[in-house]
Structure 1
Amino acid sequence: MPISPDQATEIAELRANTQPTLRATVPGMEAHLYTAHEVLDHGFIRVIDYMGDDSAICQAARVSYGRGTKSVQNDEGLIRYLMRHWHSTPFEMCEIKLHVKLPVFVARQWIRHRTANVNEYSARYSILDREFYIPAPEDLAAQSVVNNQGRGEALSGEEADRVLRYLKDDSTRAYDHYEEMISQDDQQGLARELARMNLPANIYTQWYWKVDLHNLFHFLRLRADSHAQYEIRVYADAICEVVKDWVPAAYGAFEDYRLGGAQLSGKALDCVRRMLAGEKVTQETSGMSKGEWREFEHLF
């Protein structure tokens, strides 16, 4: 179960306690507040707080004191201009704070994005729950033969069964020993900060993650990409659904120019010009390496 009964009660109480405000609010985000969106087998994301909306981005870009006389169409055009030309500071005027429950090995990838404020559940003071990420059978895959950090074909048959059994058995055994080490029944009990070292990387942790929209878009551009690892991509996908309801104009521009767009090198752009002129261009005549050419071909 992704959320505990205590967390469900807390969410219900927070959603029931509404407060009047003069600040900008977004109906779509108000609906998301505190609601847990399930990810993987035991994980979730939920919005704790947010600041700003599409108009806040435009206000910052225009450095005005109000909405002014600009129409929604003007605002959307401005946002698309800002996104198209890689302007960043207006998007930094919006912020979001998320509560995320995720496997430790996913958290170690996630924390590489160092442009957020993070406060993680501490296993020095508290006892971690007996919850582990166990992949669905269809998500067990062999090492890719063309990408050192990717997956290849799915495992099947006896090999897949054996891997799942190892993951479940090893996780259970490690947690049993963790509980035994910290127990104070007829022994002193090992300090929690030491006992945690024996826990596997697929155990779940939790954190609060606060980030501005510019840096969130950077995170999503990398982690919602089809080449990202599945276990972090599903979190990015869930966040994308939230951001759509928060800043629809900004997300639309992001989806068009970043998620659905491509950045070309000078050599690649020259190849496109030559192709449009009717020339047959090959990897040998492109000036690009085999890896660059392979990526270039995948764009079309």
Structure 2
Amino acid sequence: MSLTAEQQAEIARSRSETRETRRVVAEGLEARLYEAVPVLDHGFVRVIDYMGDDAAIVQAARVSYGQGTKAARDDAGLIRYLMRHWHSTPFEMCEIKLHVKLPVFVARQWIRHRTANVNEYSARYSILDREFYIPAPENLAAQSTVNNQGRGAVLEGAEAAEVLRILKEDSTRAYDHYEAMLAQDDQQGLARELARMNLPANIYTQWYWKIDLHNLMHFLRLRADAHAQYEIRVYAEAICELVKAWVPAAYAAFEDYRLGAVQFSGPGMACLRRMLAGETVTQETSGMSKGEWREFEAALKG
């Protein structure tokens, strides 16, 4: 992670300040506020602000369901009930704002989640830093032979070394040309909004990203999954730790009913019932396609 001495001093200054407030605070997240959590080679995630805690979820739910719920369930039990039955609006009462530094190609995948408020660093106004994501050797992999959007075996030896050489040289050359095109010395220079088009997708960008807890958990369910692309998954995993500190009861329910759970289709449930009854079921007798059957088997194996 690349933070300048000035940036580190600003973070330390922010973390040293305390203020009186009548707002509810989540003590676990207060301890992590403004802290830069390293991700990848130059990236990070920081919590800038948040609203609400586990109690805010319960408060919203009891407004919805009436006071009778309070005697029937404790707070954690109610949160688990809400999660189990997909009652989403109480979780929308909590929000979090993150400062994220990430490669552009990860940002383009991330921005597909259109339920957040985003403000990205402007390369029309400012000059981007010379920072590129270069994968660690263990994360260089060939194309999967069974999944068109996934990875297969890890590249090794001379082939891996050549890929790393190309990535580093291309990134350096592109940034050298970017700098050369900008206004400097006696040349008029190309506008920044045009010069940036020559930069590769592994250059780092930054943004502020604000989202409510319900939509954040949807993001995490997809991006913290083992099948998600490694480069976005590590960001999701870092955010999971922050959410655990923020709303521990909600996160525990999320782990049990979303992250650690699987969903079966109607044909899948029918096959499960047949199996539990002692019948041998194959892909040919399941009524599922080969792809569906492969996913069904993978879900059973865990």
Q: Shared fold by TM > 0.5?
A: yes
Write the distance in 2 (CA, Å) between the matches of 1:223 and 1:89: 21
Equivalences for residues 127-142 of structure 1 within 5 A = 127-142=127-142
Structure 1 pair 184–24 and aligned structure 2 pair: CA distance change class (3 A): same
* Contact 2:142-2:151 at 8 Å conserved across structures: yes
Change in 2 beyond 3 A, CA 1:88/1:69: closer
Q: Which residue of 2 aligns with 1:205?
A: 205
- 1:290 alignment partner in structure 2: 290
Identical counterparts, % of pairs: 79
How big is the shift at 1:13? 1.3
Give the structure 1 partner of residue 236 of structure 2: 236
Mapped to 2, the partners of 1:69 and 1:148 lie a distance apart of 48
Alignment correspondent of 1:272: 272
Instruction: Render the CA deviation track for 1:186-224: whole Å, top value 9, x for unaligned.
Output: 210100000000001000000000000000000000000
Partner of 2:46, secondary structure, is strand
Give the C-alpha shift of residue 161 in structure 1: 0.5
Distance 1:166 1:72, change over 3 A: farther
1:262 equivalent to 2:262? Answer: yes
Q: Match for residue 147 of structure 2?
A: 147
Residue of structure 1 equivalent to 2:89:
89
- Partner Cα distance (1:22, 1:162) in 2: 58
Query: Does 2:116 align with 1:116?
Result: yes
Note if 1:157 corresponds to 2:130.
Answer: no
Alpha-carbon distance in structure 2 between the residues aligned to 1:37 and 1:72: 40
Q: Is the 8 A contact 2:62 2:69 kept in 1?
A: no
Specify whether residues 15 and 274 from structure 1 end up closer, same or farther in structure 2 by C-alpha distance, changes over 3 A only. Answer: same
Question: Is 2:204 aligned against 1:193?
Answer: no
TM-score (norm 2): 0.96
What is the rounded CA distance, in whole Å, between the counterparts of 2:139 and 2:213 in structure 1?
31
Query: What is the rounded CA distance, in whole Å, between the counterparts of 1:71 and 1:139 in structure 2?
Result: 51
Aligned residues: 299
What's 1:176 paired with?
A: 176
Return 5+ residue gaps in structure 2 as ranges: none
Residue 263 of structure 1: CA displacement?
0.8
Q: CA RMSD in A?
A: 1.7
CA distance in 2, matches of 1:103, 1:196: 14
Residue 37 of structure 2 corresponds to which residue in structure 1?
37
Matched, 1:22 2:22: yes
Comparing 47-56 with 179-188, greater Cα deviation is found at: 179-188
Q: Indicate whether 1:53 and 2:53 are aligned.
A: yes
- Amino acid corresponding to residue 274 of structure 1 in structure 2: R
Amino acid at match of 2:63: V
Shift of 1:70: 4.2
Range with bigger deviation, 75-84 or 229-238: 75-84
Q: Deviations over 1:121-159 (max 9, x none)?
A: 000000000000000011000000000000000001111
Classify the secondary structure of the residue corresponding to 2:278: coil
The answer to whether the 8 A contact 2:142-2:153 is kept is: yes
Q: 1:13 corresponds to which residue?
A: 13
2: CA distance between counterparts of 1:88 and 1:71?
Answer: 22
> TM-score under structure 1 normalisation?
0.97
